[in-house]
Amino acid sequence: MKKQLRGLGHRDIQLDFSLYRKEIPIQNLTDANLSVIDISPEKAEKTIVFIHGFAGCAETWEYQINYFAKEFRVVIPDLRGHGQSDAPYSEYTMQELVEDIYTVSKALKLPEKFILIGHSFGGSICVEYANAHPEQLEKLILLSTGGEYPLNKASKIVEKIPTWVYKPFWRFRPKWNAEVHVLKRMMANNMKHWKGWDLIKNISTTSLVIMGARDKYFPRWVFEDLANSVPGAQIIDVGASKHKVQLERHKAVNRAIERFIEGGQRLSWREEGSSLSPIDYRPWLKSYGDYTPLTVPIPNQPLFKFLETAANWIPHRIATIFYGSKLTYSQLNKLVNQFSHVLHGLGVKKGDRVMIILPNTPQMIIAYYATLKIGGVVVLSNPDADGPAILKQIIQTQAKVIITLQEFYGLTKIIQKQFPIKVIVTELRKVVSSRVYKQLVARWEAAGFKIGGIQKKVDNPNMMSQMIKDVSDEPLNIKVLSEDLAAILFTSGTTDIPKGVCLSHKNLVANTIQTRHWIPNLKWGKETFLAVIPLTHSYGMTIAMNIAIALGAKIVLLPVFEMGQVLEHIKKYEPTVFPGVPSIYMAINSTPNARSYGLSSIKACVSGAAPLPVEVQEAFEKLTKGQLVEGYGLTEAGPVTHINPLVGERKVGSIGIPIPNTDAKIVGLINRSDLPPGQIGEMVVKGPQVMKGYWRPDGTIETKNVIKDGWLFTGDVAIMDPNGFFKIISRKRDTIMAGEFSVYPRDVEEVLYENSNVLEVAVVGIQSGSSGEVNEGNQKIKAFVVPRPGTTLTKEELLELCKTHLEEYAVPWEIEFREELPKSFVGKILRRMLTE
């Protein structure tokens, strides 16, 4: 658990440092560990080790970590007794500290040579290290480091005060991130006696010395004499800065370090001709804004570390708001810990599956993270799944526990008759208004949840709120690895039978970090997310829940999209991020007086699940003054792979460009060979967010069909332009084989949309032969059209329009008018239902 840091805050929170922490045993001591941040970005070639000063901690390098971790591996230990490291009652001599750094270098398997940077007395440790292990150092950088540290009179008096005097008051100290006995011993046995002049003159490593022009923390001569004593050192005196120069003038310090490391030449992937530049095989990187890192390091930590970080750093920040009921991050984390004890007590072990059938409620988030904390696997059915589909998925995954609403208890009783499973229920009726409750019940009944009857009163159910009473809120501390399976999410079945997608903690952590870095100007602990898209859908899970928690944001939860509620919540809670689907933004645009609800608080919206019409995008951005962009993803990739830039170039009709650490390309539909820009083929993607595979029993075979050499074959027919923007043309399975010609539904649909009386349209291929097999050239084109209300529309005028703009083989054989098209919960047209 993170110890409270004094005098520090998240000034430049780009990376969640706690996710990159590792514990390394201290040599010759039992049960004592060093806490080390180890961040390794993609294709990093050099390693920098940062050493903090007396009474400091790793976070004092915050600006440098965020800056250099984009291109370098950075390693930052908390010295023994400091920050998150254990504080043994050792002597804290220089020899011990040097040995600790050496132990870190071996335990983390640092490269043969690395760059060592130290601040203040941490720089003195670096001087000793450069003498003891010069063979390991490529370069040495000293910041605000003295050749000795003479104490003033006040410090000498304070030093003589016994430790027991400080201890009762030490927790109220304003700064100094070390235990009192650590500081006393380190001062008495080390710092006050250290004179490194001979060692400084003996340094053989190429060195840089950085000083603060106004640094008078110690006598000025100790800094200047050191700088002049290091053989051949470059010396930089940073103006308008004092002792903590790396915090006070971090940009100047970062520039100086970067120039020194690269021998005076700036090494950046943004700079053409760089030896590290991946732009040749990732042309879209040229379209990244300055706010977007070209690559982000993926930590080897479980997903729930995001929640623990927020609970430690901002315990009193509101985490969830549900119809006026609020939970802070501290309260949320404690409830998660309590419920993890409950699940553990029910026999849920690491790897066991727990199915969650809940709408957007705090209980959904609690159940999700509690399952992950004990190494369990969350099973989420697609929001469109009905009762029979859920029953099938429970049996398929052999779920050990179901967590659902009391209203579904009748359904779970039927499930229990066919499959031994434990049921935990939570109540919703007393929380929401009767109007909202009726809407939810109507939706559940439409989805088939009335099977067995929706019971409003049940005798002695396992009520979640009762089960967590009097349960410990301390974590169980079950070891969960980043490669462990975290969730099984079932696909929507738009074009095929729903399949269980297996996502590891690493998959989900990666996609959370990748997507979080795409949205500019987000401030940690300051944002508010409006979560109306289902959290049980992969898009809602990542965009509206995991990213929000990773940012320490408020999550305003709504279990159903109802326009009045959405606008009232926007007005009251002023969300800054509003993920959704095109139909949601379309509905807001057409609502009278929508602007009066204060939509200008919204900074960013990422639209998914369906194509985003440009008219909807432009109208919404004008209404809110924020950015609305189209993205792309699939459950098999956690789900996000592409998004249009929120700042800079955006291409209408495209899904945008791949997010950091993601590769994408177009391959031939038949031979699967790589195709150049401008040619149509199947889009394939690769990245750390790509699933482990499909859930059994046929998961192995299915996985081999879609993942080849790490590339996920999306099944989407697409095209990439020379700048790396991708445009989806059709689902591969939706491609219509009309004789010897291939027809893409979108081409026909765009022509039909040219008639202003067409509200919606979907084009599919219907089998015309007797074989019943797909892609044998025997398909006929059929268009399903929803006329705009209050208009007159005929099949003849639509056919005439198609004949004018399409080749003869692409003209629909039949047009059928409908009042609506079958759609998924998130607005995706279910073509499979139309063909069936």
Check residue 427 and give its pLDDT: 81
- Cα gap 354→378, rounded to integer Å: 5
Check residue 813 and give its pLDDT: 87
Who has greater pLDDT, 348 or 18?
348
pLDDT of 88 higher than 90: yes
Strand 500-504 vs strand 693-694: parallel, antiparallel, or unpaired? antiparallel
pLDDT of 548 higher than 50: yes
Check residue 101 and give its pLDDT: 98
Amino acid at 368: Y
CATH 3.30.300.30 positions along the chain are 735-835
Q: Contact 577/548 with Cβ under 8 angstroms?
A: yes
pLDDT of 202 higher than 60: yes
Among 245-249, 383-387, 531-535, where is mean pLDDT lowest? 383-387
Let me know the angle formed at the C-alpha of 579 by 573 and 585, rounded to the nearest 5 degrees.
90
Grade residue 158 by pLDDT with cuts at 50, 70 and 90.
low
For domain 735-835, the CATH superfamily is ANL, C-terminal domain (3.30.300.30)
What letter would DSSP give residue 61? Answer: G
Check residue 9 and give its pLDDT: 60
Average pLDDT of the segment spanning 660-681: 92
DSSP code string of 729-747: EEEGGG-EEETTEEE-HHH
Check residue 275 and give its pLDDT: 45
Check residue 29 and give its pLDDT: 93
Phi, psi of 313 (to 5 degrees): -80, -45
Among 25-29, 372-376, 635-639, 754-758, where is mean pLDDT lowest? 754-758
Q: What Cα–Cα distance (Å) separates residue 464 from each residue in 403, 412, 424, 430, 687?
A: 8, 15, 6, 14, 38
Mark 187-207 as b/e (b = at least 16 C-beta within 10 Å): beebbeebebeebbeebebbb
Average pLDDT of the segment spanning 629-644: 91
Amino acid at 779: Q
Q: What Cα–Cα distance (Å) separates residue 671 from each residue in 173, 674, 733?
A: 68, 9, 16
What letter would DSSP give residue 832? Answer: H
Helix (H) / strand (E) containing 320? strand 318-322
Angle formed by the axes of helices 409-418 and 387-397, to 10°?
Answer: 50
pLDDT tens across 92-106, in order?
999 999 999 999 999
Average pLDDT of the segment spanning 468-475: 92
Q: In a 3-state reduction of DSSP, which class is residue 550?
A: helix
- Cα gap 246→307, rounded to integer Å: 29
Q: Pick from 318, 422, 309, 303: which is nearest to 369 by CA?
A: 303
Distant-in-sequence, close-in-space partners of 155: CB < 8 Å, separation ≥ 6? none
Check residue 312 and give its pLDDT: 86
Check residue 625 and give its pLDDT: 79
CATH 3.40.50.1820 positions along the chain are 22-268
- Cα gap 676→281, rounded to integer Å: 11
pLDDT tens across 739-794, in order?
777 888 878 887 898 888 888 888 888 876 544 444 455 788 899 998 988 888 99
Check residue 568 and give its pLDDT: 92
Backbone region of residue 394 per phi and psi (left: phi > 0; alpha: psi in -120 to 50; beta: other values): alpha
Q: Contact 446/263 with Cβ under 8 angstroms?
A: no
Check residue 46 and give its pLDDT: 94
Among 266-270, 369-373, 459-463, where is mean pLDDT lowest? 266-270
Q: Contact 512/482 with Cβ under 8 angstroms?
A: no
Check residue 8 and give its pLDDT: 65
Average pLDDT of the segment spanning 275-286: 72
Among 162-166, 514-518, 779-783, where is mean pLDDT lowest? 162-166
Task: Express as a percent the part of the chain with pLDDT over 70.
Answer: 89
Question: Position of tokens 């005098």?
Answer: 7
Among 361-365, 408-412, 723-727, 751-755, where is mean pLDDT lowest? 408-412
Average pLDDT of the segment spanning 433-440: 73
Task: Express as a percent the part of the chain with pLDDT over 90.
Answer: 51
Indicate the class that CATH gives domain 22-268: alpha beta
Average pLDDT of the segment spanning 679-692: 94
Question: Position of tokens 């859908």?
Answer: 537
Check residue 738 and give its pLDDT: 77
Average pLDDT of the segment spanning 105-112: 96
- Cα gap 183→180, rounded to integer Å: 5
DSSP code string of 570-636: HHHH--SB--B-HHHHHHHHTSTTGGGG-GGG--EEEE-SS---HHHHHHHHHHHSSEEEEEEE-GG
Amino acid at 322: F
Among 72-86, 117-131, 810-824, where is mean pLDDT lowest? 810-824
Check residue 745 and give its pLDDT: 84
Question: Position of tokens 């016994």?
Answer: 162
Check residue 43 and give its pLDDT: 81
Check residue 382 and give its pLDDT: 78
CATH 3.40.50.980 positions along the chain are 329-480
Among 17-26, 708-717, 766-775, 810-819, where is mean pLDDT lowest? 766-775
Check residue 7 and give its pLDDT: 65
Grade residue 451 by pLDDT with cuts at 50, 70 and 90.
very low
Among 290-294, 552-556, 563-567, where is mean pLDDT lowest? 290-294
Check residue 409 and give its pLDDT: 65
Grade residue 688 by pLDDT with cuts at 50, 70 and 90.
very high
CATH architecture of 329-480: 3-Layer(aba) Sandwich (3.40)
pLDDT tens across 27-38, in order?
999 889 999 999
Tokens at residue 525, please? 């602990």
Check residue 771 and give its pLDDT: 44
pLDDT tens across 203-219, in order?
999 999 999 988 888 99
Check residue 825 and give its pLDDT: 63
Among 124-133, 204-213, 283-292, 482-491, where is mean pLDDT lowest? 283-292
Grade residue 574 by pLDDT with cuts at 50, 70 and 90.
very high
